[in-house]
Chain A
Amino acid sequence: MSRTAGAGEALLEVDSVAKSYGALDVLTAVHLSVPAGQALGIVGPNGAGKSTLLSVINGTERASAGTVRFAGRDVTAVGADARARAGMGRTFQIPRPFTHLTVFENALAGATAGAGLHGRAADDRALEALVLADMLDVANTPAGELPLLGRKRLELARALATDPQLLLLDEIAGGLTEAECDSLIATIRELHAQGITIIWIEHVVRALLAVVERLVCLASGVIVADGEPDAVMRSDEVQAVYLGGGL
């Protein structure tokens, strides 16, 4: 279901990216290269710039400096809508459904615009995304009436409907019960198995470690650790960040 870049080639290249709001530097020189098909987790304390990094990647925010390359193309100056059409899907930490549209219509917007499909093909794509996110039973419910888990799943379904090569997940497991979290993990594992490249920010480390094969730790706007998940979790840098040892 996914368009794939050449094997081994980086799908996403973040090079020296910085982002500041006035005098406040949220990101300073972030380098990140993500090969196609990889599932990458990002951890880090609150305020480390994790969500901002996702925003700079998907174009919701523009980088103050540095470049973002996606599928071999420099997209630093490209708008979020064009990046979505190029194959980037993103979910928000606090779900933002189109509350007056039904669940199906929410997904359909992604299928028609993001994936560029028409008519039956778009309907099928939207339905497929709802099946993947396990939402078929509430397809005709107005999105504004969904409970939290439903809203989180809808964020995922809508992003999937755009037929993404790269899926950016922002704390999608936060606030869920253990059982809900487990079913979400299963869903994300399946997406990973289908070859979708995933970058996932998460505080629920258990969920993250169940899926990702590489872990990055972001602190104060820079990457302080990067590698195999268990090794990163044990590293002095991460221990310092999480246990307050001071960097």
Chain B
Amino acid sequence: MVILNALVQGVLLGGLFAMAALGLSIAFGILRVVNLAHGEIMTVGAYLAAVALSTLGVNVWLSLIVVVPLLGVVGYWVQRLLLQRALSLGELAPLLVTFGIAIIIPNALIELFTTNKQAIPTGDLAVRSVQLAEGLRIGVLPLLTMLVAVLLIAGTQLFLARTRSGRYMRAAADDSETLRLMGVDHRRVYAYAMGLAFAIAALGGVFFGMRQGGVTPFDGQLLVLFAFEAVIIGGLGSLWGTLAGGIVLGVAQTLAGVVSPELPLLVGNLVFLAVLVLRPTGIVRSKVVV
């Protein structure tokens, strides 16, 4: 039962990892930008939610209405004003720019908020759970996280497949210069894609903060690692693959946690390395675009 419990918790933890991985996957799949600051964007999302909670007194769900679109707009302009210029200089330049952002953000957060954890209270949501069987309880928050992750992936998939903007994004991923010949300004398409990636990162960051009960300036470093691992395990270019990758990583971590509380990170990283060596294309065959 202990193993079964760990399996179930691991699968649900995978929902959070998948949410973290989705934005990264979009940025890489459409813009070919490896966003090293992805974890920091998630952290900023969690901080904004914490600030909204403490200053406006709204609950965490209401804060999402502000935080998610706000970071979406930030993503749009970061792409237009910063990353687009970097992209024109070559492949390495955007990587360095996001690396710089990843360094600036935690230090700015320390200046503004100190290194103390900023609380993201969720009432009793974080502790509420439902009993499935003797010794097997699942938390309501992890369940909700998984549900939101699945809906997000399905929604993104549908958006890319069926809408005009989604088609432009897929076309831009293939050949942005040719997209211009069709009459589309590819820079705007890129900016919208980055806005989408930032908005989803913010959402993932808030869910992470809820799970942890709060957020600290350096949380982004682990988040971006988990996000990368989920993307690679699942297979670059497949959105559902990020869910599979997140689940594999989550299960590996929680199973290792049963053995010893020291092990989850190490085992998670070993599973990631094993996939990278044995099956570098990931466990899900990429058939869809991004």
Question: Hey, which bits of chain A sit against chain B, CB under 8 A?
Answer: 58-60, 79-82, 84-85, 89-90, 92, 96-101, 105-106, 108-110, 112-116, 158-159, 161-162
Q: Is B152 part of the binding interface, using a Cβ–Cβ cutoff of 8 Å? A: no
Give complex CA distance A109, B182 in Å: 6
Of B164, B174, B177, B186, the residue contacting A101 (CB under 8 A) is: B174
Give 10 nearest A-B pairs by CB, closest first: A114-B183, A84-B183, A113-B183, A100-B289, A85-B183, A98-B174, A80-B180, A98-B171, A113-B184, A81-B180
Please, could you name 13 A-B residue pairs with CB atoms under 8 Å apart, sorted by A?
A59-B180, A79-B180, A80-B177, A80-B180, A81-B179, A81-B182, A82-B183, A90-B181, A96-B175, A96-B178, A100-B173, A101-B167, A106-B171
Give complex CA distance A11, B288 in Å: 42
Question: Hey, which bits of chain B sit against chain A, CB under 8 A?
Answer: 164, 167-168, 170-171, 173-175, 177-186, 288-289
> Separation in Å of the B161 CB from the closest CB of chain A?
9
Which B residues are CB-close (under 8 A) to A158? Answer: 181-182
| Contact A58-B174, Cβ < 8 Å, known A105-B167, A109-B168 | no
Give complex CA distance A162, B175 in Å: 17
| Residue of B with least CB distance to A158 | B182
Give complex CA distance A193, B27 in Å: 45
Give complex CA distance A108, B186 in Å: 16
Cross-chain contact A99 with B174 (CB below 8 angstroms): yes
Cross-chain contact A162 with B183 (CB below 8 angstroms): yes
| Residue of B with least CB distance to A96 | B178
Of B170, B174, B182, B186, the residue contacting A110 (CB under 8 A) is: B182
> Separation in Å of the A58 CB from the closest CB of chain B?
7
Cross-chain contact A80 with B181 (CB below 8 angstroms): yes
Which B residues are CB-close (under 8 A) to A80? Answer: 177, 180-181
- How many residue pairs, one in A and one in B, have C-beta atoms under 8 Å apart? 80
Cross-chain contact A92 with B178 (CB below 8 angstroms): yes
Which A residues are CB-close (under 8 A) to B168? Answer: 109, 113
Cross-chain contact B185 with A109 (CB below 8 angstroms): no
A60-B177, A80-B180, A97-B174 given; name 6 further pairs at CB < 8 Å.
A60-B180, A84-B180, A99-B174, A106-B171, A109-B168, A113-B183
Cross-chain contact A162 with B174 (CB below 8 angstroms): no
Cross-chain contact A114 with B174 (CB below 8 angstroms): no
Give complex CA distance A158, B178 in Å: 10
> Separation in Å of the B178 CB from the closest CB of chain A?
5
Give complex CA distance A84, B180 in Å: 8
Cross-chain contact A98 with B181 (CB below 8 angstroms): no
Which B residues are CB-close (under 8 A) to A58? Answer: 181
> Separation in Å of the B25 CB from the closest CB of chain A?
15
Of B175, B180, B183, the residue contacting A98 (CB under 8 A) is: B175
Give complex CA distance A92, B289 in Å: 23
Give complex CA distance A59, B181 in Å: 9
Give complex CA distance A159, B178 in Å: 10
Which B residues are CB-close (under 8 A) to A101? Answer: 167, 170-171, 174, 289
> Separation in Å of the A199 CB from the closest CB of chain B?
15
Give complex CA distance A90, B185 in Å: 16
Give complex CA distance A115, B289 in Å: 25
| Residue of A with least CB distance to B186 | A81
| Residue of B with least CB distance to A89 | B181
> Separation in Å of the B157 CB from the closest CB of chain A?
13
Cross-chain contact B181 with A108 (CB below 8 angstroms): no
Cross-chain contact B178 with A113 (CB below 8 angstroms): no
| Contact A109-B179, Cβ < 8 Å, known A79-B185, A81-B185, A100-B289 | yes
Give complex CA distance A240, B255 in Å: 79
| Residue of B with least CB distance to A144 | B174
| Residue of B with least CB distance to A88 | B181
Which B residues are CB-close (under 8 A) to A110? Answer: 182-183
Residue of A58, A84, A159 most packed against chain B (CB within 10 A): A84
